[in-house]
Structure 1
Amino acid sequence: MSEKANNNPDLLLVDDDKSLLRLLTIRLEGEGYNVTAVEDGQSALKKLQGNSFDVVLSDLRMPGLDGLSLFEEIMGIRQDIPVILMTAHGTIADAIEATQRGVFGFLPKPVEHEELRALLQKALNQSQAVKPGDWAKEIITRSPEMLNVLDQAFRIAQREVSVLISGASGTGKELLANAIHKASNRRDKPFVAINCGALPENLLESELFGHAKGAFTGAVTAHAGLFKEADGGTLFLDEIGDMPMTLQVKLLRALQERQIRPVGSSKQVDIDVRIISATHKDLHKEMEAGTFREDLYYRLNVVNLKLPSLKSRSEDIPLLARSLLQQSAQRHGVDVSQFSDDAMQQLVTSSWPGNVRQLVNVVEQCVALTQTPVVPLHLVEQALSATKQSWPTLTEARDSFEQQYLFKLLKMTDGNVTRAADLAGRNRTDMHKLMKKHELDAADFR
């Protein structure tokens, strides 16, 4: 391919019809594209090995490697490149199959020039949008909604502002936080993450702020804490909505004063960290309920980024599934290279209540169980069934948490309902209703 002129976009054109190949080359070069034209899929793959194209435009029906097979090969080389397929024998079924497998667009022949121009421009916009640099290379997407989030993330990464990432569980909040860190001026310093809902309050305080030697039983040495570990870099506070109120006060003070005081110490320690936090909860409702501080919310939520569910970015499912399959196969040393067509269709049309995390689980199960290079439909259905059982509905999850919370609260207060209600920020009447709902008797805790 010739050297790129005037930053014009590079297009790989593939068609076994020589006359159409010449005609399209002339038209597209007239539109400002640097066109590399080849007559078959194998030649296209050779061109892709040593060159960087912005978009691929290929015939669907070709001898040897057809358009869909070429697309599958391209995805193994570069998953971010948009592929548009053309066919004189196109049917609705062809178009549906192509788009479900992740093909960017589908055009019937004879190609309408205005339609081709519009689709190429749309593909080019995406191709340029998904090249922000190495900072986001682990985030695989072609979804306009997700690309918009990445665009916002890149712009705010350069600024020293706190970021709150919201979204359902399993959408990739830590992955986005790490990408923001990599795009920031703090990229050469540590990125440290902690799940605020995974530790009891006393341990969480010690993990965050550190502790002095002898501060409590078992503290045989001093511990610097994650704020100091992340000094100069980024501290990611996952599930910030689960942080106890008493720690919320200490976190707010640390952010305001840029100092922390380790547990059991009388000395203040200077800190220099950027805070990125995340939650799957509605913090506005948490503030109304009195379980999350309003002043801390506005300190953390200078910029809010909301991650879409996997279901709402279904065009990403084929890309993610292929990438995860390749990674898992390499990790486990298994000879498996792709999903069957009906298996991929099942993945694309599933609801994914557990989002990307559930997809990871499904792919891992398929790799572990498959005995052929192509993952069959029945294994995908089996894995989906198994993972759906482990993902409760929101109501079930809320009720489960509520019951566990009340159990711990009553145990901690020795069955004193008044004290338990005060700690929960509720009145005695509400507390009794909740206890009745979950069949808890205060006498059992005395």
Structure 2
Amino acid sequence: MTGNRPTVLCVDDEQRSLETLERTLDDDFEVLCATSAYDALELLEREQVSAVVCDQRMPGMNGVELLSQVRQRWPNIARLILSGYTDSEDIIRGLNEAGIYQYITKPWHPDHLILALKNSCRLAELETENESLSTEIRLTAAQAETRIQEKKAKLKQQFALSEIVRSSESPLNKACSQVQRIAPYDVSVLITGPSGTGKELFARALHYNSLRAEQPFIVENCGAMPDDLLASELFGHRKGAFTGAMGDHAGLFEQANGGTLFLDEIGDISSSFQVMLLRVLQEKEVRRVGDDKRRRVDVRVIAATNRDLEAEVAAGRFREDLYFRLAELTLTLPSLSQRKVDIPVLAEHFLKCSSENFSKPAEKFSEEALEALSAYHWPGNVRELQNEVRRMLVLADSPVLGAELMSPRLLRVLPDNNEPEPLLEALLSRQQGWSEGCTLKDKTEMLEKQLLRETMIRHRWNKSRAAEELGLSRVGLRAKLDRYGLEPKA
């Protein structure tokens, strides 16, 4: 095709007929001419053509035979035939075999021929566009499916038990072993443990190591959510069921059909909602808010709580039958203070991840920093440790992160103190007594040692600045550091 005009190839063994065709079509088309079917095929090898119009009766190869080959080799080219024999069997057969768009009887009218060619070229153009779009859609669908499969494979790898960060002697090994044993079996699991211990991480590990791994994993936090809103989220609602319900909404049970639904903070749901949830778990059916129709669902439920649900059951605040529905198997996660052996490993892992996310180079923690991290009791568990590492990295001006970057509360714990609570906070709040036989002199020295250590770390062991803050001379400060054996660590 040249410019905006389609190119038409005219084929006829009579030169006069070709000249007539060329004069007729020249105003609307770019015209190429061939005096035989063989010349036409050679020309089609070189030129881009929108349509072929040819005479039926030609020596060697007739029009139908030529257009049959054109259809096989260039299916997007429109094909028209000129013939004075409308009842010819070759013409009738050619309509099917050669896919002829139209045959035009001789003598043909110029306007009729031009209109037929324009329509055929436009049809061929639309067919090409349609084929291109269909191919694009197929490719897009295939690419989307490939991306979905890659994402699923990545998620399965990401939440593989081997990817759970821990040391070789970690107390978490027991929980990981339990997950490996129970994941393949379609039972409800209740995960318990303090906030920030990774309950959702283990719920995902259960899902992606189960037979439902290819299906959805849906999360809902049930804490402090009103019953009506929670019912709408979990069970769905019908259009007009309440103000703002502008359309039908499938709840999370329906969205998780075939997969896993993780209900976090399950211990916070009200007594009335416990009844609604129990019915769904028993009957495996959900009824959308404002709807009478019940829908079957096939969902594995994993619940989590930081409460002691057995104590809640005993106190009458949680239904016993719902508890046993949720806790066919129970998985208990230890707090970070119970797995201190994991703290250095976790800290290094969070440092590496945060360094990549922030595009800020960091190599390691100083020995003093790791010692202080390991000594702290981490009431916020893994989440608090992650936040502390991120904070240290943001404040750091060196690839090695020192203890002076840490929050003050972390520095108030003596490395050799076996008690889980910070010494200064315990003293000030009087929540913890001194050990039996501890004299006033012992208590004073312990407090002085801790104050010295915290101050030195904050000032990066600069004795002049530390002595000024403490109101001591450099000589007096040095004497106290020597007395308590305090010195910087790498």
- TM-score, normalised to structure 2, is 0.51
Distance 1:155 1:370, change over 3 A: same
Deviation at 1:154, TM superposition (A): 0.9
> Within 2, Cα distance between the matches of 1:177 and 1:322?
24
Deviation at 1:245, TM superposition (A): 1.2
Counterpart of 2:248? Answer: 222
Q: Which has the larger radius of gyration?
A: 2
Matches within 5 A, 1:158-197: 158-197=184-223
1:273 maps to 2:273: no
**Aligned with residue 266 of structure 2, among 240, 247, 250:** 240
> Within 1, Cα distance between the matches of 2:227 and 2:397?
47
Render the CA deviation track for 1:381-404: whole Å, top value 9, x for unaligned: 447479x99xx99xxxxxxxxxxx
Query: The residue matched to 2:325 in structure 1 has which SS?
Result: helix
Amino acid in structure 2 at the alignment position of 1:208: L
Render the CA deviation track for 1:105-143: whole Å, top value 9, x for unaligned: xxxxxxxxxxxxxxxxxxxxxxxxxxx996224411124
Deviation at 1:144, TM superposition (A): 4.2
Check the 8 A contact 2:372/2:410 in 1, yes or no: no
Counterpart of 2:361? Answer: 335
**Aligned with residue 177 of structure 2, among 143, 151, 156:** 151
Higher RCO, 1 or 2 (CA under 8 Å, sep at least 6)? Answer: 1
Counterpart of 1:362? Answer: 388
Out of 205-214 and 377-386, give the one that drifted further: 377-386
Counterpart of 1:313? Answer: 339
Check the 8 A contact 2:159/2:201 in 1, yes or no: no
> Within 2, Cα distance between the matches of 1:370 and 1:145?
32
Matches within 5 A, 1:49-128: none
Matches within 5 A, 1:9-48: none
Distance 1:238 1:133, change over 3 A: closer
Render the CA deviation track for 1:177-222: whole Å, top value 9, x for unaligned: 0001011000011111111104222111111111111111011111
Amino acid in structure 1 at the alignment position of 2:343: I
Deviation at 1:300, TM superposition (A): 0.6
Check the 8 A contact 2:372/2:411 in 1, yes or no: no
Counterpart of 1:347? Answer: 373
- TM-score, normalised to structure 1, is 0.56
Query: The residue matched to 2:331 in structure 1 has which SS?
Result: strand
> Within 2, Cα distance between the matches of 1:134 and 1:195?
20
Q: How many residues align?
A: 260
Deviation at 1:173, TM superposition (A): 0.4
> Within 1, Cα distance between the matches of 2:224 and 2:268?
9
Amino acid in structure 2 at the alignment position of 1:355: N
Render the CA deviation track for 1:218-277: whole Å, top value 9, x for unaligned: 111111011111111110011110011111111111111110001111110110110110
Q: Which runs of 5+ in 2 are unaligned?
A: 1-156, 413-420, 427-490
Counterpart of 1:140? Answer: 165
Counterpart of 1:38? Answer: none
> Within 1, Cα distance between the matches of 2:278 and 2:174?
30
Check the 8 A contact 2:189/2:328 in 1, yes or no: yes
Query: The residue matched to 1:304 in structure 2 has which SS?
Result: strand
State the identity %: 48
Check the 8 A contact 1:343/1:377 in 2, yes or no: yes
Check the 8 A contact 1:366/1:383 in 2, yes or no: no
Post-superposition, which runs of at least 4 consecutive aligned residues in structure 1 deviate over 6 A?
Answer: none
> Within 1, Cα distance between the matches of 2:277 and 2:407?
45
**Aligned with residue 208 of structure 1, among 214, 218, 234:** 234
**Aligned with residue 256 of structure 1, among 282, 287, 294:** 282
> Within 1, Cα distance between the matches of 2:212 and 2:362?
39
> Within 2, Cα distance between the matches of 1:245 and 1:281?
15
Deviation at 1:145, TM superposition (A): 2.2
Check the 8 A contact 2:259/2:298 in 1, yes or no: yes
Q: Which runs of 5+ in 1 are unaligned?
A: 1-131, 394-446
1:372 maps to 2:372: no
Amino acid in structure 2 at the alignment position of 1:195: N
Q: CA RMSD in A?
A: 2.4
**Aligned with residue 348 of structure 2, among 313, 322, 328:** 322
Check the 8 A contact 2:223/2:268 in 1, yes or no: yes
Deviation at 1:370, TM superposition (A): 1.1
Amino acid in structure 1 at the alignment position of 2:243: T
Out of 135-144 and 168-177, give the one that drifted further: 135-144
**Aligned with residue 324 of structure 2, among 294, 298, 301:** 298
> Within 1, Cα distance between the matches of 2:335 and 2:317?
26
Deviation at 1:375, TM superposition (A): 1.0
